[in-house]
Amino acid sequence: MAQAALRPTVRGPTFIRLLARLAEVDVAAPGPSLPDRLGQWLDWNHALSLAAALDGKPASPPADSPPAADLHAECMRAREALATAIQGDPLLAPASADTGHDFVAYRQLCLARQRALQATTGRLRGKLRDALMQASPELVRLAEVDAVMEATLTSREHTLLAKVPDLLHHRFERLRAAGHASPTWLDGFRRDMQSVLLAELDLRFQPVDALLATLRTS
């Protein structure tokens, strides 16, 4: 018997690999490099701001910010709270109340969790940049570059991550069609959705983790 062709291994962050598995899509050929993509995404205003951050005189430091240890603890608490909210949500609990096999409640939950992730990571990045700006001129410049990159990429990030609820909806419908006679398909979807949200949490915290690591080692 002929064996089914194996799908290529998806490389990249866990979030991307998980979405590719749930979407059951073939892997596209590698696209342009990151610098090439950034060149396409930066408009002239953002390009000028980035050049100023890289080459210009660092701005004056802000008022006192919390010590690095306090910021680390705050970031860890925030991350734990977000993860706990995802893992403990009643709608995603195994064998929780049936929603009538309607995806609407899951879409609303996904959007609410995404808004919470975006708001929390944005706030933490701002506080970490303030702390970096009280350090050396090199770290002041890093904070300014991060601010420009956040402003540049947030709209694109929002557009791309806004597709996650639709992907989960397709997954929901596929599992329902394949497992309509089994009571376990919905629990399988709930596990998938929880995994996607936790992976998105890790993805969104990458800039926070990088700034925090820089601050702790400065």
Q: For the chain, which residues make up each domain, given as ranges? A: 41-217
204, HSE (Cβ side, Cα atoms, 13 Å): 28
Across 1-15, 67-81, 126-140, 196-210, least confident range: 1-15
Band of pLDDT at residue 140, cut at 50, 70 and 90: confident
Q: What pLDDT is stored for residue 15 in this prediction?
A: 85
The mean pLDDT value for 117-145 works out to 90
Q: How far apart are CA 124 and CA 117, in angstroms?
A: 11
pLDDT higher than 80, residue 8: no
Residue 208, class by beta-carbon neighbours within 10 Å (0-12 exposed, 13-18 middle, 19+ buried)?
buried
Q: Which two tokens stand for residue 34?
A: 């990151």
Q: Which residues contact 97 (CB under 8 A, 6 or more apart)?
A: 90
- Return the higher-pLDDT residue of 33 and 20: 20
Q: What pLDDT is stored for residue 108 in this prediction?
A: 96
172-212 residue pLDDT tens? 999 888 876 677 888 899 999 999 999 999 999 999 999 99
Q: What pLDDT is stored for residue 72 in this prediction?
A: 92
84-122 residue pLDDT tens? 999 999 999 886 656 556 899 999 999 999 999 999 999
Q: What pLDDT is stored for residue 1 in this prediction?
A: 39
What phi-psi label fits residue 113: left (phi over 0), alpha (psi between -120 and 50 degrees) or beta?
alpha
35-90 residue pLDDT tens? 566 566 666 565 556 556 566 565 555 556 667 788 999 999 999 999 999 999 99
Q: What pLDDT is stored for residue 2 in this prediction?
A: 41
| Phi then psi dihedrals of residue 183, to 5 deg | -80, 0
